[in-house]
Amino acid sequence: MPSQNHPKLRVAAVQAAPVFLDIDGTVEKTIQLMKQAASDGVRLIAFPETWIPGYPWWIWLTAPAIGMQFVQRYSDNSLVVGSKEFERIAQAARELEIWVSIGFSERAGGSLYIAQALFDDEGRLVKARRKLKPTHVERTVFGEGDGSDLAVMETPIGNVGMLACWEHLQPLSKYAMYAQNEQIHIAAWPSFSLYRGGAYALGAEVNNAVSQVYAAEGQCFVVAPCATVSKQMHDMLCTDDLQRQLLLQGGGFARIYGPDGSPLGRPIPENEEGIVVADIDLGVISLAKAAADPAGHYARPDVTRLLLNKTPGDRVVSHVPRGMVEVLPETNPDVDPASAN
Note the pLDDT tens digit of each residue in 219-243: 999 999 999 999 999 999 999 999 9
pLDDT at 340: 44
Half-sphere exposure of 329 (CA within 13 A, CB side): 5
Distance CA 60, CA 251 (A): 15
Residues that are catalytic: 49, 131, 165
Distance CA 60, CA 13 (A): 25
Distance CA 120, CA 222 (A): 18
pLDDT at 322: 76
Residue 337 has pLDDT above 80, yes or no: no
Is 3 domain-assigned? no
Q: ∠ CA 81-211-51 to the nearest 5 degrees?
A: 30
Residue 323 has pLDDT above 90, yes or no: no
Over residues 70-89, the pLDDT tens digits come to 999 999 999 999 999 999 99
pLDDT at 314: 79
pLDDT at 171: 96
Is 98 domain-assigned? yes
**Identity of the amino acid at 339:** S
Over residues 160-184, the pLDDT tens digits come to 999 999 999 999 999 999 999 999 9
Residue 332 has pLDDT above 70, yes or no: no
**Identity of the amino acid at 56:** P
| Beta strands, E only, 23-121 | 44-46, 99-108, 111-119
Bigger pLDDT: 89 or 317? 89
Question: 104 CB contacts (<8 Å, ≥6 apart)?
Answer: 50, 51, 52, 53, 78, 79, 115, 116, 117
Considering the chain, what percentage of its residues have pLDDT values greater than 90? 89
pLDDT at 212: 98
Is 1 domain-assigned? no
- Let me know if 1 is exposed, middle or buried by CB neighbors in 10 A (0-12, 13-18, 19+): exposed
What angle in degrees, to the nearest 10, is found between the helix axes of 171-178 and 204-218?
A: 40
Q: What's 259's domain CATH number? A: 3.60.110.10
pLDDT at 324: 65
The DSSP bridge partners found for residue 15 are 274
Contact 143, 111 (CB under 8 A): yes
Structural domain span for residue 58: 8-339
pTM: 0.91
Is 150 domain-assigned? yes
129-144: average pLDDT = 97
Over residues 240-279, the pLDDT tens digits come to 999 999 999 999 999 999 999 999 999 999 999 999 999 9
Mean pLDDT, all residues of the chain: 93
Q: How many domains does the structure of the chain reveal?
A: 1
Distance CA 218, CA 251 (A): 26
Is 325 domain-assigned? yes
pLDDT at 315: 77
Over residues 13-37, the pLDDT tens digits come to 999 999 999 999 999 999 999 999 9
Distance CA 34, CA 32 (A): 5
pLDDT at 341: 43
pLDDT at 316: 81
Bigger pLDDT: 21 or 337? 21
pLDDT at 313: 83
Is 2 domain-assigned? no
